[in-house]
Chain A
């Protein structure tokens, strides 16, 4: 093959592929900035939690309401993750220890919760260090209470958590997302409603 011809073909090919890679990386960052990272390479998955807590079992099988555990959601700023003690209401005194579960890890995961409360050889008694899933910027003061009072259901923003094995964020929860909904429902759009 004529070496000149090879160069003539190779140079635009390399240039094109570099441009395509640059475009793809650029698209990834821009789309992650404006909404959420695209659902590739595991970016859409929720973080791994210290205890594999399945909402599916608690909501679908046990039939618990969100507010049974997230108790302050209708009165306070944060919905809060319950104290370890609250888990033990069922998993210690209620004698639900996971040994009857078809899930092989259930008993081990529940033991982690008990260890967190009573302490064990491997850890001191104390709170479980859950990984945060939904995080808003520091300059946003989001309060759950008025949203619950206005009759907005949890799933409007958090998605169908009841069917999530691992909790993940489903809406981008950027300011546009909030403001669109506030306009639609005639909720206040004064800046100082959320930013102070």
Chain B
């Protein structure tokens, strides 16, 4: 007998202990790229050079997209930091033939490097272009040899990678503790942001700042029509 899965089931309502999420307040973002640099330093992301941009093989876990609004001369620069949205209904997950990417019970979309065989189906299926593929063995200049973060795996050639919401920091903060105070720790990008554009926390905790902000009236999720149910919420920029 063939059983049909319940396609109408609400995938966002799975019970779980924690649900790590982020809010990006675009009213605050100045496009300074501090989050990008912090992410590169924290997560051992290979350094891009000019040729990588030309080839479209740039490695980044978070990027600041720039776009223009309005007609000259009333044109305005707008910025939107984009990282893995940690979708509850992630398009990348079902296409992986080796289950190297999956959703864990903390609301994280996880990439398991040692399972990944490098088919790149997940990156092709990601509407946010949040994933980067290691086309080369990563190399760092000799004087940066000691800056690698020992808490994070250095990915090798042929492996997909993406934002983990700094799971190494989550692990360190929650190790042996059930109750972590809201705002006690944050991913590198959130910590580095000078204007507090980014807020990180547990969306299951109704008293957390990230829960409060994600229910702000300016809230929206990127490409909502795709039904990916992201864990990253954006707050619209409002003109005065």
Contacts and interface: CB of A to CB of B under 8 A. Distances in A.
Interface stretch (A2-10, A56-64, A95-103, A139-147): A139-147
A138 B155 CA distance: 9
B220 interface: no
A196 interface: yes
B112 interface: yes
Given A141-B153, A146-B175, A149-B176, A191 B115 contact: yes
Contacts of A146: 175-176
Contacts of A141: 151, 153, 168, 171
Nearest to B151: A141
B105 A190 contact: yes
A41 interface: no
A195 B105 contact: no
A42 interface: no
Given A146-B175, A196-B164, A196-B167, A191 B110 contact: yes
B102 interface: yes
B175 A196 contact: no
Contacts of A143: 171, 175
B113 A139 contact: yes
B3 interface: no
Interface string A171-196: 00000000000000000001111011
B108 interface: yes
Contacts of B223: none
Interface in B116-168: 150-154, 164, 167-168
A137 interface: yes
Nearest to A150: B176
A193 B105 CA distance: 11
A87 to B, nearest CB: 25
A195 B176 contact: no
Most chain B C-beta atoms within 10 Å of own C-beta, residue among A77, A145, A190, A192:
A192
Contacts of A196: 110, 152-153, 164, 167-168, 171
B48 interface: no
Nearest to A195: B112
B152 A138 contact: no
A189 to B, nearest CB: 11
Contacts of B171: 141, 143, 193, 196
A195 B114 contact: yes
A173 to B, nearest CB: 15
Most chain A C-beta atoms within 10 Å of own C-beta, residue among B104, B113, B114, B154:
B114
B174 to A, nearest CB: 10
A195 B175 contact: no
Contacts of B167: 192, 196
A190 to B, nearest CB: 5
B101 to A, nearest CB: 10
A139 B104 contact: no
Interface in A20-74: none
A149 B177 CA distance: 11
Contacts of A145: 175-176
Interface of A: 77, 137-139, 141, 143, 145-146, 149, 190-193, 195-196
Given A143-B171, A192-B164, A195-B153, 13 more contacts: A77-B150, A137-B114, A141-B153, A191-B102, A191-B115, A192-B104, A192-B108, A192-B167, A193-B171, A195-B112, A196-B164, A196-B168, A196-B171
17 contacts: A137-B114, A138-B153, A139-B113, A141-B151, A141-B153, A145-B176, A146-B176, A190-B110, A191-B102, A191-B115, A192-B104, A192-B108, A192-B110, A192-B164, A195-B153, A196-B110, A196-B168
